[in-house]
Structure 1
Amino acid sequence: MTGEKFCQSCAMPLTEEAHFGTNADGTKNEEYCIYCYKDGAFTSDVTMEEMIEICVPHVLQAGVYPDENGARAAMREYFPKLKRWQKN
């Protein structure tokens, strides 16, 4: 789907405004979800690998991947492309 937005920390689809995180001034942040970004800061200080482990149960429950190993492999490939995890 062209133009679909994903959280740049956990890759959650941002399909509605209620999913957007918030900036320090209370405005919506369209790059990060409400679970990863609140009041202008990340909600947890985790590594990319820790974020993947947090996400595995959620994507399995949603039926995105058939098994844990497939989910981890796909996220290890995709997450480095997300803004939060890009190496400068």
Structure 2
Amino acid sequence: MKDYKYCQSCGMPMSNDPQKGGTEKNRSKSKKYCSYCYQNGEFTSPEIDTPQKMQSFCIEKMKEQGMPKIIAWIFTRSIPKLERWKK
């Protein structure tokens, strides 16, 4: 399986993930999704079911950490192009 530099759900750099990836059902590391988005082979927030909802969620989290909204938007604008959201 391909190694991804960014979570294919939220776009966070995988190097910033404290667990270095989520987990699959068999407890192996996910190389595609971060630990914030994916645990035990399932997405952690099933209510976030569109790229727009994920982008809004991520912008709010970044603003809580002190990032200006415009910068957060710039960091999240590629979310719709990530593999989880491709049709």
TM-score range for the pair, normalised by the shorter chain length: 0.7 to 0.9
Q: Which has the higher strand share?
A: 1
Choose from 21, 43, 62 the match for 1:59: 62
Residue 25 of structure 1 corresponds to: 26
| Structure 2 residue 44 is the aligned partner of structure 1 residue 43 | yes
Question: How many percent of aligned residue pairs carry the same amino acid?
Answer: 38
Separation (CA, whole Å) in 2 of partners of 1:44 and 1:32: 13
**Cα shift readout 1:26-84 (whole Å, capped 9, x = no counterpart):** 00001100010000011112121111111013334374xxx4245336634x1121010
The letter for the 2-side match of 1:72 is: W
TM superposition shift of 1:18: 1.6
Tell me the TM-score normalised to structure 2 length.
0.74
Q: Kindly report the root-mean-square deviation, in angstroms, between the aligned alpha carbons of the 2 structures.
A: 2.5
Unaligned 5+ segments in structure 2 are none
| Structure 2 residue 65 is the aligned partner of structure 1 residue 68 | no
Tell me the TM-score normalised to structure 1 length.
0.74
Poorly superposed stretches of 4+, deviation over 4 Å: none
| Structure 2 residue 15 is the aligned partner of structure 1 residue 12 | no
Unaligned 5+ segments in structure 1 are none
